[in-house]
Amino acid sequence: MSSLFSRLLKYFGFREESNNSHQVKKILTPLKFSELEEIIGFPIKNKSHYIQALMHRSFLEELEDADVSNERLEFLGDSVLSLVVAEYLFENFPKENEGFLTKVRAKLVNRFALSDAAEDIGLANFILINQNLTNTFARASKTVLSDAFEAIVGAVYLDHGLEISKKFIHRVLIEPLTKDGEYLIDENYKSQLLEYAQANKIEVPNYIVIKEEGPQHDRIFTVKVNVGEVYFGVGTGKNKKTAEQNAAKATLEKIPH
């Protein structure tokens, strides 16, 4: 195994004595590869695909060329995910139109769904990330986790092909998300509120930021939305988009059904 790591470290541009090379050896031990195989559900044939899939760009900051991070595999995995989920929806909802299929697919492959799937399978324990990162980019952040999940899908695709990738995606993403039917619930409250306003021929919703607080790296936004002169709601969030969605949800809850 040590000779394999030596070849991989040389391939990825690490010096044997560098801090990152020691982290690779510490995190991706033979035992860890066995654990990763259990997560994937199939034998790992080419370990280099998975090492690259688990390398966050920050881990390579000491190198002049960071093209060996997981970003290329993330791109590939994103496409594989989109195809597999699209096929699942196409087969299971034969009477639904393109708009419905697109909306549900977006919900199944968004950052939150992918990061939750990554967290459920314990992927955070394998990610190679710079230890000096701030809390904003901690290993457990949703962006880091979702990107790593896409990259792992890309690695599985290169290692085993599409059929095995489909089995992996169905087991760890599609089946957990679809078993209770909640993925069919429309959580785009801004869209629902706009549709209500248009259907009832009243003014379109007007969103106003009424408060910003907290440090720059951890802002909290408070947004108020008015629908005509009758209904309004207030919502908060770590960004304006989330705050607007929460304000729209609060408004919809006030509208009689």
Q: Which residues share a beta bridge with 206? A: 226
Query: Which residue out of 78, 116, 159, 244 is catalytically annotated?
Result: 78
pLDDT of residue 11: 43
What's the average model confidence in pLDDT over 46-67?
Answer: 73
Name the residue ranges covered by the structural domains of the chain.
Answer: 2-184, 189-254
Burial of 13 (0-12, 13-18, 19+ CB in 10 A): middle
Q: Could you please state the CATH topology (level 3) that the domain comprising 2-184 is classified under.
A: Ribonuclease iii, N-terminal Endonuclease Domain; Chain A (1.10.1520)
Structure token pair of residue 230: 């009758």
More confident residue, 11 or 55: 55
Structure token pair of residue 88: 């699942």
CA distance 36 to 33: 5
Share of the chain above pLDDT 90, in %: 39
Is the Cβ–Cβ distance between 56 and 70 less than 8 Å? yes
Q: Three-state SS across 148-209? A: HHHHHHHHHHHHHCHHHHHHHHHHHHHHHHHCCCHHHCCCCHHHHHHHHHHHCCCCCCEEEE
Does the annotation count 78 as an active-site position?
Answer: yes
Close Cβ partners of 13 (under 8 Å, ≥ 6 residues apart): 63, 65, 68
> Any idea which of 152-156, 170-174, 190-194 has the lowest mean pLDDT?
190-194
Pick the CATH number of 189-254 from 3.40.50.1820, 3.30.160.20, 3.40.50.300, 3.60.21.10: 3.30.160.20
- Span 2-50, pLDDT tens digits: 444 454 555 444 444 455 555 555 556 778 889 999 999 999 998 888 9
Query: Which residue out of 74, 116, 147, 150 is catalytically annotated?
Result: 150
Nearest in space to 32 (alpha carbons), one of 134, 149, 122:
122
pLDDT of residue 118: 93
CA distance 219 to 108: 27
Pairing of strands 220-227, 206-213: antiparallel
pLDDT of residue 9: 52
